[in-house]
Structures are given as structure tokens and as C-alpha cells.
């Protein structure tokens, strides 16, 4: 499902415009699976699935398979509907250079929200 992120984000002109000053690479870890997601001026240029030997990233988001599945539901339950709610519940761990994450929080919320099931059979 993560591989669809590039197409969905880059297809949203408003979201790309929101991230036009954002260039970074971050690590998304869901359970034991990891991805490096490279963003250049708001466009996702690469989604690379791990495992990695020594990945280079500015910040990492780490959560369990179960919590990510709840976040990706069409209508997530309260506490699983937002990245900050997941962090507050301590089921999503954000680490690294968090200034980049926080300065572009709305971009990341909307971008990762593009992975919601939107009527797709899971």
C-alpha cells in the first residue's frame, strides 16, 4: 500500500504546492517493514522498501502493524485518525530532526492520509 503514496501525493496539486519548500527523506517503519520516502519540493520522488544497511533520513515515524491498519481505515477510530493523536497515545514514535516534521506537519498529515482505504478492498 505504501508504494501508492507517490502516485496519490503527486496527483494532488494542492498538496504538492503546500510542500513546495520541503525537500527531505524520512523513514516510515510499520512493524518490521521499513520504507525510505524521498520528497523534493513537495513531490515524492522515491518510495524505497527496506531492509536497509545504513539508511540516511532526517526523521523517522515508527508504529505497529495494528495501529497503522487502524490509521488507514476509511473512518479511523478516535485516537487513530491523526498522526499527532497517535503520538499522544504513544503508539507512533517520531524521532530524528523533528523540526522538519513539525514545520510541515499538515503536509505529512495529508500525505499519509492519502493511504486511507477510500473504498479500496483491503
Asked if pLDDT for residue 117 goes beyond 80, the answer is no
Q: Residues 54, 85: contact at Cβ < 8 Å?
A: no
End-to-end CA distance of the chain: 10
pLDDT beyond 60 at 121:
no
Q: pTM for the whole thing?
A: 0.89
Q: Output the pLDDT for position 70.
A: 94
Burial class (CB in 10 A: 0-12, 13-18, 19+), 17: exposed
How far apart CA 92 and CA 97 sit, in angstroms, is 16
Sequence-ordered list of residues with C-beta below 8 angstroms from that of 69, at least 6 positions apart, any chain:
none
User: Is the pLDDT reported for residue 2 higher than 90?
Assistant: no
Predicted confidence (pLDDT) per residue in 12-43, tens digit: 999 999 999 999 999 999 999 999 999 999 99
Amino acid at each position: 500500500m505504501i508504494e501508492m503514496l507517490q502516485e496519490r501525493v503527486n496527483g494532488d496539486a494542492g498538496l504538492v504546492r503546500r510542500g513546495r519548500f520541503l525537500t527531505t527523506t524520512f523513514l516510515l517503519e510499520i512493524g518490521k517493514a521499513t520504507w525510505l520516502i524521498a520528497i523534493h519540493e513537495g513531490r515524492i520522488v522515491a518510495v524505497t522498501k527496506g531492509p536497509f544497511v545504513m539508511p540516511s533520513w532526517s526523521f523517522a515515524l515508527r508504529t505497529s502493524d495494528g495501529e497503522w491498519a487502524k490509521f488507514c481505515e476509511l473512518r479511523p477510530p478516535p485516537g487513530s485518525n491523526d498522526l499527532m493523536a497517535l503520538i499522544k497515545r504513544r503508539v507512533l514514535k517520531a524521532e530524528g530532526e523533528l523540526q522538519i516534521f513539525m514545520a510541515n506537519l499538515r503536509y505529512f498529515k495529508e500525505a499519509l492520509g492519502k493511504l486511507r482505504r477510500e473504498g479500496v478492498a483491503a
